[in-house]
Amino acid sequence: MAFLDAGFFAHPDLVTPRDRIVAYHDIFLRRTSRRALEQPNVSAWHGMMTSVVAAGNGALSGGRYRGLAHEADLVLVKVGSATRIAHDDIRRGIEWVIDQRERYRIRILNISCGGDWEASYLEDPLSRAAEDATRAGIVVIAAVGNAGNEPRPRVLPPASAPSVVTVGGFDDDGVGSGTGHYHSSYGPTFDGLQKPDVIAPAIWVAAPILPGTPTSDQARLVSLLDGLEDHDLARCLAEHAGVDPDLDALVTREAYLIRQALAAKRHDQKVISGHYKHVDGTSFSAPIVGSVVAQMIEANPRLSPQAIRRILVETAERLPGIAPQRQGFGVVRPRAAVAAAVAYQPPT
């Protein structure tokens, strides 16, 4: 599986016990150092989360928070920064993946970022690159975006390209049974195509916190305090002074006030544990679908990108109460998609 994003981090869920990052490439550098993946800079957040959502093995959670493709090998391609991912740089990343597809046996490309403007896939170089990737045998999966509440929820390249599996989101209430609306972007596209194709959970998704950051230190402290008896709270806060200024101010206060502050921290920062938090956005719906595709390919390596896209839409299930144009063919159903992949026979 290849990922395009602003940056990446070699998270333990990807490299423990086996390092599954087989390649890392920065399109802005002549030579790319793997050591860059060990730096917890702000640009690494998004790509770390998308790659772990798809392929993390849950090493820091005892296997609890792991993706469906938790044995997949990964190719990580940096195409921007935390503040900017440019239209043409996404194209450059796709072209690099196409060039390297045989070397690294790339079958899936996840793109949880979008271009800068609407364009026809017949002329736009970014869309054409995505189409080229599909023709080269790569399943291209793109997040549709989160502008569904805007007056004009545009679908930008490469999500607007016809052959791309474009993924929107829905709210499953965090338990897999919800049917809630999510503010995904939706078509028609510049060319009149209806997107997204399918939807997947877009909220209450467990993702890693970037190690070595103040956010990580604070989440670990909150998790530690949650497990203590009331009479140990003040002592623990004093021992960890400076980690969280808000909690520092409570070191002399009553235990119930500290508990209230901890509950507020968990809610506001969406903390699940010392290593994970809840995230939302179609950026995370896309890698969930990517992990399903990885299962399909493992079940039947002969599947073409076109066959995979057809199976995904044919096995999806529409949700009641959500307009068809917002959900495409509906929610991806992993078990049904894999079963159909096993049974698939190419046309003769």
Quick: pLDDT tens for 280-339: 999 999 999 999 999 999 999 999 999 999 999 999 999 998 999 999 999 999 999 999
Quick: pLDDT tens for 108-130: 999 999 999 999 999 999 999 99
- Are 312 and 165 a contacting pair, CB within 8 Å? yes
Residue 46, domain CATH: 3.40.50.200
For residues 18 and 159, membership in a common domain is answered with: yes
Q: What is the pLDDT of residue 181?
A: 85
Quick: pLDDT tens for 29-38: 988 889 999 9
Residue 3: both structure tokens together: 């990922």
pTM: 0.94
Give the phi and the psi of residue 50 in degrees, each rounded to 5.
-65, -40
Residues paired with 111 in a beta bridge: 4, 142
For residues 150 and 118, membership in a common domain is answered with: yes
For the chain, what's the residue count? 348
Determine the residue type at 196.
Answer: P
Q: What is the pLDDT of residue 176?
A: 66
For residues 264 and 294, membership in a common domain is answered with: no
| Residue span of the structural domain in which 257 resides | 214-274
Q: Among residues 258, 274, 290, which one ends one of the domains?
A: 274
Distance in angstroms (rounded) separating the CA atoms of residues 143 and 155: 10
Q: Among residues 233, 259, 274, which one ends one of the domains?
A: 274
Distance in angstroms (rounded) separating the CA atoms of residues 130 and 219: 38
